[in-house]
Amino acid sequence: MNLDSLVGLADGLRRGDFSSEELTRHCLDRIEQHDAGLNAFITVTADSALAAAREADQKLRNGATHALTGIPLAHKDIFCTDGVLTTCGSKMLENFIAPYDATVVTRLREHGVVMLGKTNMDEFAMGSSNESSFFGAVRNPWNTDLVPGGSSGGSAAAVAAGLVPVATGTDTGGSVRQPAALTGITGMKPTYGRVSRYGMIAFASSLDQAGVLCRSARDAALVLEAMAGFDERDSTSAPAAVPAFSQQLDGDIAGLRIGLPAQFDTPDIDRGVSAALAAALQSLVDEGAELVDIELPHTPLSVPAYYVVAPAECSSNLSRFDGVRFGHRCDNPRDLEDLYRRSRTEGFGAEVTRRILTGTYVLSAGYFDAYYLQAQKVRALINADFQSAFAHVDVIIGPTSPTPAFALGAKTDDPVTMYLNDIFTIGVSLAGLPAASVPCGFADGLPVGMQIIGDHFDESRVLKVAHRYQQLTDWHLRRPPAYRSDA
């Protein structure tokens, strides 16, 4: 059963080639067969998935019209799901059963998707390699000695290995786009505010945004249509109309102006990544697009600015995990201070602790002006750079990650080197822009991602360019040899 296209699966369900229950059982079988070697899932909800699949089959028999009805999906374990374990990849929440659904979960369920379970992730979405999870590292299906990227690495690995056709993720500084690049799939991060954050456990509230990991831009468009829209329960939700993304994909790109930032051409980019990107750009030029050199002068400051702003917000958001109301609680505390200290020390891993301490420091009375306030000023300059560029170009294109996937453990002892892996994605998040990563080739046998960046609320154009590129190539359909359906 081919999971490479949601459109193909939807057509097969409507023709009666197979039922949602059969499709769901197929995915559950692949999870059982392959996930032990990947560690992509924290929780598999087989019984409720089969029940939802049977319900979807009844809707299909009654003439359900939504393309997602009966399609299996996995949620990153950062989205609250009523009655299901929701851990955020942390010991702090290892036993937390959410009492309600996140808006993303609700909207996709209302469109008839079948939830197979919850995927592994960097603890509280903090990481670029999916090695910080309390439940163990996730492995890359292209080479299980390598990382899949993070923090949505479990979702990316599950889609890349063909365990599930689509999964949700979240992107704070690149956590949908970077794992999509490292595993050879499509990852879409919408404009900040396009998708509700209600029920999505917060890391950095001014940056976190739900996204989609799947095979193609067409698939991403279908899922984003269902997820997006204003939500009065989320104060950061944008009251913007949701276009029919899936109906705006086709058409040529003649005259499209593609911005090439000088700051994305750095010595740190792997040669294979550069070669793959150059070939991809040439294919777009052959379709009538025009390449325009642009400047994003404050890009080199994006990583230091991000690692002030994000930890500051993390410090504030994670202060609620105090051992009193919910989450991990230490045994036999001597007093209130001991309860706080030991509950948080036992509950949080090293990377989360590092960021909480950093954030608390930059928010402290003596350093707020020197660090946090300055970082927010830099953030405004980064956004201004993008707005200046979009006055002259339609999209901006560059690499998603400077290198292909790296070895497990290679950067865990050097946080700064790990943080620099997100150099091309972080500025987009600081500016709140939409962007997609699409596969554009291989370097040393490993997938390479091309990042397509759009102006605010211009997801339609981003998806159209990605779709046109995927009509010209088949990189997005390549699957790791060990996980092909016929393997």
Q: Mind listing the pLDDT tens digit of every residue in the chain (487 residues)?
A: 777 899 999 999 999 999 999 999 999 999 999 999 999 999 999 999 999 999 999 999 998 779 999 999 999 999 999 999 999 999 999 999 999 999 999 999 999 999 999 999 999 999 999 999 999 999 999 999 999 999 999 999 999 999 999 999 999 999 999 999 999 999 999 999 999 999 999 999 999 999 999 999 999 999 999 999 999 999 999 999 999 999 999 999 999 999 999 999 998 899 999 999 999 999 999 999 999 999 999 999 999 999 999 999 999 999 999 999 889 999 999 999 999 999 999 999 999 999 999 999 999 988 999 999 999 999 999 999 999 999 999 999 999 999 999 999 999 888 888 888 899 999 999 999 999 999 999 999 999 999 999 999 999 999 999 999 999 999 999 999 999 865 4
- Selecting among 19, 76, 152, 460, the annotated active-site residue is 76
pLDDT at position 487 is: 42
Instruction: Kindly state whether residue 271 falls inside one of the protein's structural domains.
Output: no
Q: How far apart are CA 349 and CA 118, in angstroms?
A: 20
Instruction: Determine the structural domain holding residue 155 and report its residue range.
Output: 6-254+459-483
What's the total number of domains in the chain? 1
Q: How far apart are CA 348 and CA 315, in angstroms?
A: 12
Q: How far apart are CA 126 and CA 133, in angstroms?
A: 9
Instruction: Kindly state whether residue 293 falls inside one of the protein's structural domains.
Output: no
Instruction: Kindly state whether residue 403 falls inside one of the protein's structural domains.
Output: no
470, 249 contact by CB (below 8 A): no
pLDDT at position 301 is: 96
- Selecting among 90, 151, 302, 429, the annotated active-site residue is 151
Q: How far apart are CA 284 and CA 253, in angstroms?
A: 8
CATH of the domain at 68: 3.90.1300.10
pLDDT at position 485 is: 67
Active site residue 151: yes
Instruction: Kindly state whether residue 210 falls inside one of the protein's structural domains.
Output: yes
Provide the CA 284 distance to its chain's centre, in angstroms: 25
Q: Which amino acid is at 327?
A: G
Instruction: Kindly state whether residue 60 falls inside one of the protein's structural domains.
Output: yes
Q: What is the DSSP string of 350-408?
A: HHHHHHHHHHHHHHSTTTIIIIIIHHHHHHHHHHHHHHHHHTT-SEEEEESSSSS--BT
Instruction: Kindly state whether residue 180 falls inside one of the protein's structural domains.
Output: yes
Q: How far apart are CA 465 and CA 486, in angstroms?
A: 31
Active site residue 377: no
Please give the C-alpha separations between residue 346 and each of 26, 70, 329, in angstroms, as whole numbers: 39, 41, 8
Instruction: Kindly state whether residue 361 falls inside one of the protein's structural domains.
Output: no
Q: What is the DSSP string of 114-140?
A: EEEEEE--SGGG--SSS---TT----B
pTM, entire model: 0.97
Q: How far apart are CA 169 and CA 162, in angstroms?
A: 16
Instruction: Kindly state whether residue 230 falls inside one of the protein's structural domains.
Output: yes
Active site residue 189: no
- Selecting among 175, 246, 343, 437, the annotated active-site residue is 175
Contacts of residue 259, Cβ cutoff 8 Å, sequence gap at least 6: 292, 293, 294, 389, 390, 392, 393, 395, 396, 397
Strand (E) or helix (H) holding 47: helix 46-61
